[in-house]
Amino acid sequence: MNSLDLQVVQQAQQWLEQGRSVCLSTVLSTYGSAPRGPGAMLVALADGRFCGSLSGGCVEDDFLERLSRDEFGPDNQVVRYGEGGMAPSLKLPCGGVLDVLVEQFVPGCEALEHFSLMLQALQGQQRIIRTVSLDTLDRTLDVCSAQGSTVELSERQIAIRIGAARRLLIAGLSPVAEFCASFAVSLGYEVIVCDPRTELLAGFGLEGVKVIEQLPATFIANGGCHASTAVVALTHDPRLDDLTLLEAVRTPAFYIGAMGSQRTSEKRLERVRRIGGLDDEAIERISAPVGLRLGSKTPAEIALAVMADIVRVGNGVGRGAL
């Protein structure tokens, strides 16, 4: 999820509060080239006003025209654009196919509460899963702490996970940290580098990365982590790494890791257990050594292993599935 989806939910709330019925459409799956991935949203009124995006082009125009003609009806349904879709003459880039969930919401407490919980999830207060039954008006919304695919499809139901944009908090600058930041930006993460060492930060600059000159543990303690945050300590400096881990395990962060050899990692976990009074459950949340076992040697290779493991956990894939 990103800031555009946040705007979609806020606009839906505003229209519902004004007594207007709204149509919410959500990208379920894409095949071929697609500028918007699964989970992307658009909300619209029958008069053509809308907020959000499904594809960044012709799909929106056709969708809004059909909405104005009341072609969708009241029930939850899936429409397809591209090959085999509802508009055969409408070709998507690279022969792509786009499946979209269409839902109608009428003004009332139930709809407002639904979007209020969606807003809280997008702001990072909690992760939720929306379960929508097709060909009915039924939908439910539940808190969901587990990571997994954004969209899961079954025969007559669709489950959509909603949370804040994934955030990578890098605790301490290092060569590995720089590559992690670069990879994470490319993956669409919100990236924050937190380090109190002014002299190291002076020479660092990467577009799309927020730099905070502060002890990472302090940033975390002040609310720097939500359920869609991955925290990695990459300095080999226990004064930074240990404190970071001690604070991170007290947050809902979905991934916590620290760089180091197997021996170094064992000593670190023993140390933070003793100093912080951590129990087994807290210790098990820490990936140390961090990253997938790829035989990485260079900073770039280590960073690749780190980000691959974060993506794995974020997508709900177990190590045994690799």
Instruction: Using alpha carbons only, give the angle 188, 192, 198 rounded to the nearest 5 degrees.
Output: 145
Fold classification of 167-321 (topology level): Rossmann fold (3.40.50)
- Tell me the pLDDT tens digit for each residue of 271-298: 999 999 999 999 999 999 999 999 999 9
pLDDT per position as a tens digit, 128-152: 999 999 989 999 999 887 777 889 9
Amino acid 193: pLDDT: 97
Task: For residue 184, give every residue at least 6 positions away whose Cβ sits within 8 Å of its Cβ, in sequence order, or none.
Answer: 168, 191, 307
pLDDT tens digits, 240-263: 999 999 999 999 999 999 999 999
Q: What is the mean pLDDT of residues 179-203?
A: 93
Alpha helices in 140-212 (DSSP H): 175-186, 198-201
CA distance 99 to 80: 4
The structural domains of the chain, with segments of one domain joined by +, span: 3-162, 167-321
Q: b or e along 175-195 (b: 16 or more beta carbons within 10 Å of the residue's beta carbon)?
A: ebbbbbbbbbbeeebbbbbbb
> How far apart (Å, rounded) are the C-alpha atoms in residues 225 and 253?
6
DSSP 8-state class, residue 154? -
* Nearest residue to 315 (alpha-carbon basis) of 164, 151, 176, 179: 151
CB 168 within 8 A of CB 310: yes
Give tens-digit pLDDT for 93-107: 555 788 899 999 999
Rounded CA-CA distance 141/302 in Å is: 39
Mean pLDDT, residues 310-318: 90
Q: CA 123 → CA 1, 27, 113, 224, 295, distances in Å?
A: 10, 20, 15, 12, 37
pLDDT of residue 251: 94
Beta bridge partners of 157: 133
Average pLDDT value for residue range 103-123? 94
pLDDT at residue number 80: 87
User: Averaged over 47-59, what is the pLDDT?
Assistant: 86
Structure tokens at 270: 């023993």
- The stretch 185-199 carries a mean pLDDT of 92
1 — pLDDT class (breaks 50, 70, 90): very low
Judged against a pLDDT cut of 70, whether residue 92 lies above it is answered with: no
Q: What is the mean pLDDT of the chain?
A: 89
- In the predicted model, is pLDDT for residue 165 greater than 50? yes
Cα angle at 13 between 10 and 17, to 5 degrees? 145
